[in-house]
Amino acid sequence: MARIICLANSTRPGGRCIAGIEIDTEKWVRPVSHFSNRAITWDIRNIEGEEPEILDIIDIPLEDHGPDEGCQPENRLVKPGKWQKVGRKRPREVLKYCEDDLIILHNHTDRVLATFFEKLPRRKWKSLQLVRNKNVSFNLDFWGKRRAFFRDGEGHYLELAVKDPDFLNKLVREEQVSSDCIMTISLAGPWSPSGTEPQRCYKLVAGVIEL
């Protein structure tokens, strides 16, 4: 059983991607299913009929290992059993888990080539990072998709797709949102747009906490 602070509940094909910091180890954990797409379906993740929320403290039955998809060392397979909410954190209580944003997930761009991980020792892999940015904006891109627009700690400009459904609903309702946010940045599994181009792993905003 792993007790995590839920810091991401993002949309993905077939279900959701859940991730958080394990309280005992202070390390990232991403529960994944035995399904081929690794998505966490509703019957797996629902807690007494409710959706896990960001900042919830959750007990999740997990294996000690999981398929890393070539770039995600935090993955751990879910075991049979109910998920339980045992508490909740306040937004500022997770600031201590924020990392330096000089480099966000290995480089200064919105993606990492899959071949990068073939040359990098596995102990240095990471696909989840919590960062605070005090000047982030959330706008529509050319294709009408919501993205987070901000600069990393070295001034490099990033535009990352937002996959947090609760936060997206706030934007759709045109509610005022803070520019000072804690964001969970997640690296998706390798993918090729055409099937022939080199595979790349895109960075996504999987959770947003407003301050």
Q: Say yes or no: 7 and 52 in one domain.
A: yes
Among 27, 61, 92, the domain-final residue is 92
Number of domains in the chain: 2
- What predicted TM-score, i.e. pTM, was given to this entire model? 0.96
Q: What is the pLDDT of residue 15?
A: 96
Q: CB within 8 A of 115, min separation 6: which ones?
A: 198, 199
Number of neighbours of residue 121 by Cβ within 10 angstroms: 7
Among 92, 109, 138, the domain-final residue is 92
> For the chain (length 211 residues), average pLDDT per consecutive 10?
97 95 97 94 96 98 96 98 98 97 97 97 97 96 91 97 97 95 97 89 98 97
Indicate which CATH number applies to the domain containing 145.
2.40.50
**Of residues 125, 104, 161, the one with CA closest to residue 28:** 125
Q: Say yes or no: 62 and 117 in one domain.
A: no
CA 60 vs CA 19, 86, 137, 210: distances in Å: 11, 11, 33, 25
Print the domain residue range for 159: 96-210
Tokens 């309280």 -> residue: 23
Q: What is the pLDDT of residue 4?
A: 98
Structure tokens at 40: 């966490």
CA 135 vs CA 51, 52, 153: distances in Å: 29, 27, 11
CA 26 vs CA 4, 86, 182: distances in Å: 9, 17, 17
Q: What is the pLDDT of residue 141?
A: 87
Q: Say yes or no: 63 and 142 in one domain.
A: no
Q: What is the pLDDT of residue 143?
A: 86
| Burial label, 58 (beta-carbon count in 10 A; 0-12, 13-18, 19+) | buried
